[in-house]
């Protein structure tokens, strides 16, 4: 074994540059792979992790207590298939007045629970304390952050005459209730239903969940189960936005994995192939075939292990900030993003060296069988085939000879050429895809800003502890805002939860009044809502409910109903939100008023000054300049940039390595060419041309692939329905630039070795080989 070690050490020393390149390629590839894996797991993981931590309920079931007894319900917890269960908890619905806390009115589902902890659905207390005495109520806060302590002590009169005081705010990931009271208080409210919280052993799909629930509730009186909500709906809503970016994140992840694997394979196998002569010498010295393989694997394992360890460290260091930036704006609730599982590092640390060894093993085993004499002469062995015919044809063209010589070189080593080309193709695909996505996302982020004017967001009543009420009425505010100099349009907004017939969950409805110029840019199909009963919504809302333009739905708020027609499709929107005009709201809640206003400024107007002017109108008004960024844009642009940089780097290194190997193998030819008068410039031209051709072909293949990938991605972002104008981001000059990107990747990788080849002293090379 020591002979193997000596030979490996000598080989590493003699090929410092090559060893360095292999190490660097493995490093960059490992970083890319780790990022890609972190990305894939972050995009799908956060909900499940947080949900498991909170022991969230797989199914929240509601029972009619007039049909089923407490004991019967308690027994369902011991049925097969039930992992754990909590309950039964009494449950009732309490009416709330308009504008109670931050709610627009409606009802509150209240559950009687002695303890926020428990085997299922751990409730996290955000402010105050848990309800322990009669008359105390804890309200669910589902948004991010905390509502603060200012609202503690708010009272609620029930229709039965009970006074409840808010003593705490809490959050339940299972969304099992809107508020909680003690079991005793619940009994006093005379509930007619009860809640059971289940965790099932099999919770993978909606079907399994309903089967599990059916099994648990067998034997209960008919129709005693009045409702069931599975966590899958929550999960979907929770990660809707994250999921919608998954197609493109997945694509980047896959591209990263592919390019990295290809380049590592190319670099490593190239190292072994270029060492065939060396292998012959080792064999002549008396190394057994297995020892030869061992020498090569040892030689490669040094840069592989070092590169992999450093790459894993770099990946871990990079992934956290990158994921943080990328996920800003994607609501992941209380789940943490950016925690990279140590398993990913393990996968990289084991997988990358394994990949290197595998890539080395194939050619090394070929060398294993190669007779020593053949191996020794491998460099100068006669070659024949298609490559030679191509060289001939090129020699007869009018191209300068260094150029035609360079163009012919790739045909001498078709295998290596193909791998290099694949790397360039994927590199160009990535660049094309990412520039396309960036264009699309920037266009999308600019929706509503086409006129160039800034927008001021005005809210009434402030936020947090500062809740100075506005002295002005809704209409007065609108009028004042409109009359401020620089204001081109004012749009008032009221948000309400309304019930939609046939839907268990309420939907969010935005009602607008005034300036509706935004719809000129955000309606991708149909038209803007105008009359009472006309609604528009984003693609996710419509698709999830199977709605299309012209379909009718019934909306209900505080007992008033209206039949509404879908008249338009918005470019994007929450899966639970729809939009309508004030006329619709007037029918549902005649005395509702707006809580937010958007002021559209004339182009060039000073937004900050305007915001201050708005605040000066009334201390109850809070104005802020709407930031121009868009969360989705940040996500896409971040990942596009990171992966473009990484993959371009890795692809360039692959080209660099290919050129390096070619030069090493062609030292003798280069020496001869110089001896007959090839100038250093001609050497550079020849060497660069040898890969620029690959780059051009790579560009020609990579660009269409990138365009297709871009189309696939933008068509599959569920929450956004990009109009054709945002999808058609390709123009001739841009495509030409992309093609140049392919050539640039190749030239960049080739330039350094080409110049060193031009400077190479050749006097000795010509004799020794």
State in angstroms the smallest separation of the CB of 666 from other proteins.
9
Residue 384 in the binding site for other proteins (CB under 8 A): yes
- Taking the least distance from each CB to other proteins, the nearer of 297 and 661 is 661
Residue 763 in the binding site for other proteins (CB under 8 A): yes
State in angstroms the smallest separation of the CB of 347 from other proteins.
43
- Taking the least distance from each CB to other proteins, the nearer of 674 and 710 is 674
CA 680 – CA 442 distance, rounded (Å): 45
Using an 8 Å Cβ cutoff, are 7 and 282 in contact? yes
Binding residue (CB under 8 A) for other proteins from 97, 119, 321, 395: 395
Residue 769 in the binding site for other proteins (CB under 8 A): yes
Residue 408 in the binding site for other proteins (CB under 8 A): yes
* Residues whose CB falls within 8 Å of the CB of residue 680, separated by 6 or more in sequence, listed in order: 758, 759
Instruction: Give the interface size with other proteins as a residue count (CB under 8 A).
Output: 41
CA 326 – CA 633 distance, rounded (Å): 9
CA 735 – CA 702 distance, rounded (Å): 11
Question: In angstroms, how far is CA 361 from the centroid of its own chain?
Answer: 36
- Taking the least distance from each CB to other proteins, the nearer of 468 and 675 is 675
Residue 502 in the binding site for other proteins (CB under 8 A): no
The interface region with other proteins, picked from 27-35, 392-400, 549-557, 746-754 by CB under 8 A, is: 392-400
State whether residue 622 is helix, strand or coil: strand
Residue 664 in the binding site for other proteins (CB under 8 A): no
Residue 380 in the binding site for other proteins (CB under 8 A): yes
Q: Which one, of 749, 765, 755, lies nearest residue 681 by Cα?
A: 755
The interface region with other proteins, picked from 125-133, 208-216, 391-399, 636-644 by CB under 8 A, is: 391-399
The interface region with other proteins, picked from 88-96, 258-266, 543-551, 759-767 by CB under 8 A, is: 759-767
Residue 383 in the binding site for other proteins (CB under 8 A): yes
Residue 386 in the binding site for other proteins (CB under 8 A): no
Binding residue (CB under 8 A) for other proteins from 381, 501, 708, 752: 381
* Residues whose CB falls within 8 Å of the CB of residue 130, separated by 6 or more in sequence, listed in order: 115, 116, 138, 167, 168, 170, 180
Residues paired with residue 597 on neighbouring β-strands, in sequence order: 458, 492
- Taking the least distance from each CB to other proteins, the nearer of 418 and 472 is 418
Residue 373 in the binding site for other proteins (CB under 8 A): no
Q: Which one, of 603, 609, 505, 524, lies nearest residue 567 by Cα?
A: 524
Backbone angles phi and psi of 613, in degrees to 5: -60, -40
Residue 716 in the binding site for other proteins (CB under 8 A): no
- Taking the least distance from each CB to other proteins, the nearer of 563 and 764 is 764
Q: Which of residues 324-353 bind other proteins (CB under 8 A)?
A: none
Residue 630 in the binding site for other proteins (CB under 8 A): no
The interface region with other proteins, picked from 115-123, 374-382, 492-500, 505-513 by CB under 8 A, is: 374-382
The two tokens of residue 604 are: 């060039």
- Cis upstream peptide for 88 (omega within 30°): yes
The two tokens of residue 108 are: 């509150």
Residue 396 in the binding site for other proteins (CB under 8 A): yes
State in angstroms the smallest separation of the CB of 678 from other proteins.
6
Residue 412 in the binding site for other proteins (CB under 8 A): yes
CA 705 – CA 698 distance, rounded (Å): 10
The two tokens of residue 503 are: 């839907």
By rule CB under 8 A, what string of x and - marks binding of each residue 669-708 to other proteins?
Answer: x-xxxxxxxxxxxx--------------------------
Sign of CA dihedral 232, 238, 240, 246: negative
- Taking the least distance from each CB to other proteins, the nearer of 405 and 647 is 405
- Taking the least distance from each CB to other proteins, the nearer of 93 and 762 is 762
Using an 8 Å Cβ cutoff, are 652 and 265 in contact? no
Residue 398 in the binding site for other proteins (CB under 8 A): yes
Place of tokens 């640039």: 744
The two tokens of residue 704 are: 């269409």
- Taking the least distance from each CB to other proteins, the nearer of 136 and 665 is 665
Q: Which string of DSSP letters, residue by residue, matches 266-294?
A: HHHHHHHHTTHHHHHHHHHHT--HHHHHH
- Taking the least distance from each CB to other proteins, the nearer of 719 and 758 is 758
The interface region with other proteins, picked from 89-97, 233-241, 479-487, 757-765 by CB under 8 A, is: 757-765
CA 660 → CA 514, 665, 753, distances in Å? 67, 9, 6
- Taking the least distance from each CB to other proteins, the nearer of 24 and 691 is 691
Binding residue (CB under 8 A) for other proteins from 114, 318, 626, 766: 766
State whether residue 57 is helix, strand or coil: coil
Residue 759 in the binding site for other proteins (CB under 8 A): yes
State in angstroms the smallest separation of the CB of 672 from other proteins.
4
Residue 382 in the binding site for other proteins (CB under 8 A): yes
CA 243 – CA 40 distance, rounded (Å): 10
State in angstroms the smallest separation of the CB of 693 from other proteins.
15
CA 374 – CA 281 distance, rounded (Å): 11
Residue 282 in the binding site for other proteins (CB under 8 A): no
Please count the CA atoms within 13 angstroms of the CA of 203 that sit on its side-chain side: 22
- Taking the least distance from each CB to other proteins, the nearer of 369 and 767 is 767
Query: CB-based burial of residue 689 (10 Å sphere; 0-12 exposed, 13-18 middle, 19+ buried)?
Result: buried
Sign of CA dihedral 206, 211, 215, 218: positive
Residue 767 in the binding site for other proteins (CB under 8 A): yes
Using an 8 Å Cβ cutoff, are 713 and 437 in contact? yes
Rg of the Cα atoms in the chain: 34
Residue 758 in the binding site for other proteins (CB under 8 A): yes
Question: In angstroms, how far is CA 713 from the centroid of its own chain?
Answer: 12
The two tokens of residue 5 are: 């070690």
Residue 756 in the binding site for other proteins (CB under 8 A): no
Residue 397 in the binding site for other proteins (CB under 8 A): yes
Q: Which residues bind other proteins (CB under 8 A)?
A: 380-384, 387-388, 391-392, 395-398, 400-402, 405, 408, 412, 668-669, 671-682, 758-759, 761-763, 766-767, 769
């Amino acid at each position: 074994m020591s002979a193997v070690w000596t030979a490996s050490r000598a080989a590493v020393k003699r090929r410092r540059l090559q060893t360095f390149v292999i190490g660097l390629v493995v490093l960059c590839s490992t970083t890319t792979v780790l990022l890609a894996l972190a990305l894939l797991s972050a995009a799908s993981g956060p909900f499940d992790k947080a949900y498991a931590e909170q022991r969230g309920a797989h199914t929240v079931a509601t029972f009619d207590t007039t049909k089923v007894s407490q004991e019967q319900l308690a027994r369902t917890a011991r049925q097969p298939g039930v992992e754990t269960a909590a309950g039964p908890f009494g449950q009732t619905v309490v009416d709330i007045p308009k504008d109670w806390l931050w709610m627009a009115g409606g009802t509150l589902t209240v559950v009687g629970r002695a303890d926020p902890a428990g085997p299922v659905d751990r409730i996290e207390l955000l402010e105050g304390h848990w309800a322990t005495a009669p008359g105390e109520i804890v309200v669910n806060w589902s948004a991010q952050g905390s509502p603060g302590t200012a609202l503690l002590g708010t009272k609620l009169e029930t229709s039965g005459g009970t006074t409840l005081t808010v003593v705490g705010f809490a959050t339940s990931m299972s969304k099992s209730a809107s508020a909680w009271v003690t079991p005793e208080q619940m009994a006093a409210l005379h509930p007619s239903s009860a809640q059971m919280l289940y965790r099932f052993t099999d919770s993978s799909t909606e079907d399994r969940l309903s089967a599990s629930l059916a099994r648990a509730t067998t034997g209960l009186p008919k129709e005693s189960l009045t409702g069931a909500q599975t966590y899958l709906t929550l999960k979907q809503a929770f990660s809707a936005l994250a999921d919608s970016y998954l197609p493109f994140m997945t694509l980047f992840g896959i591209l990263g994995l592919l390019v990295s694997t290809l380049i590592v394979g190319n670099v490593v196998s190239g190292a072994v192939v270029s060492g065939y002569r060396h292998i012959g010498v080792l064999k002549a010295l008396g190394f057994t075939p297995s020892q030869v393989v061992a020498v090569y694997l040892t030689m490669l394992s040094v840069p592989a292990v070092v590169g992999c360890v450093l790459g894993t460290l770099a990946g871990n260091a990079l992934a956290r900030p990158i994921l943080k930036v990328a996920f800003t704006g994607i609501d992941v609730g209380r789940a943490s993003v950016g925690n990279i599982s140590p398993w990913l590092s393990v996968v990289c640390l084991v997988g990358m060296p394994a990949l290197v060894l595998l890539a080395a093993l194939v050619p090394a085993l070929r060398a294993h069988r190669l007779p020593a004499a053949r191996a020794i002469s491998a460099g100068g062995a006669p070659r024949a085939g298609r490559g030679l015919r191509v060289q001939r044809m090129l020699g007869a063209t009018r191209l300068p000879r260094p150029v035609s010589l360079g163009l012919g070189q790739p045909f001498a080593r078709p295998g290596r050429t193909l791998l290099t080309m694949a790397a360039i193709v994927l590199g160009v695909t990535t660049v094309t895809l990412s520039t396309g996505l960036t264009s699309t996302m920037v266009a999308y982020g600019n929706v509503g800003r086409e006129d160039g004017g800034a927008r001021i967001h005005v809210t009434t009543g402030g936020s947090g502890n500062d809740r100075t009420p506005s002295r002005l009425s809704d209409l007065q505010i609108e009028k004042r805002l409109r009359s401020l100099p620089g204001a081109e349009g004012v749009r008032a907004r009221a948000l309400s939860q309304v019930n939609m017939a046939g839907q268990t969950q309420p939907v969010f409805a935005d009602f607008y009044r005034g300036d509706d110029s935004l719809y000129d840019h955000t309606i991708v199909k149909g038209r803007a809502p105008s009359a009472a009963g006309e609604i528009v919504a984003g693609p996710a809302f419509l698709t999830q409910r199977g709605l299309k333009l012209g379909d009718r739905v019934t909306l209900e708020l505080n007992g008033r109903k209206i039949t509404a027609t879908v008249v338009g499709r918005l470019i994007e929107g929450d899966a639970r939100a729809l939009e309508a005009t004030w006329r619709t709201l007037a029918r549902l809640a005649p005395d509702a008023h707006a809580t937010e206003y958007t002021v559209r400024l004339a182009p060039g107007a000073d937004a900050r000054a305007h915001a201050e002017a708005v605040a000066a109108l009334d201390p109850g008004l809070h104005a802020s300049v709407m930031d121009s960024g868009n969360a989705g844009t940040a996500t896409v642009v971040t990942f596009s940039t990171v992966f473009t940089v990484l993959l371009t780097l890795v692809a360039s290194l692959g080209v660099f390595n290919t050129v390096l190997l070619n030069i090493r193998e062609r030292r003798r030819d280069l020496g001869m060419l110089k001896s007959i008068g090839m100038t250093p410039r001609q050497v550079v031209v020849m060497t660069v041309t040898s890969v620029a051709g690959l780059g051009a072909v790579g560009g020609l293949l990579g660009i269409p692939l990138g365009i297709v990938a871009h189309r696939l991605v933008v068509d599959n972002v569920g929450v956004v329905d990009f109009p054709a104008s945002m999808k058609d981001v390709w123009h001739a000059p841009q495509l030409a630039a992309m093609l140049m990107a392919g050539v640039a990747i190749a030239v960049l990788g080739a330039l350094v070795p080409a110049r060193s080849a031009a400077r190479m002293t050749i006097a000795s090379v010509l004799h020794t080989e």
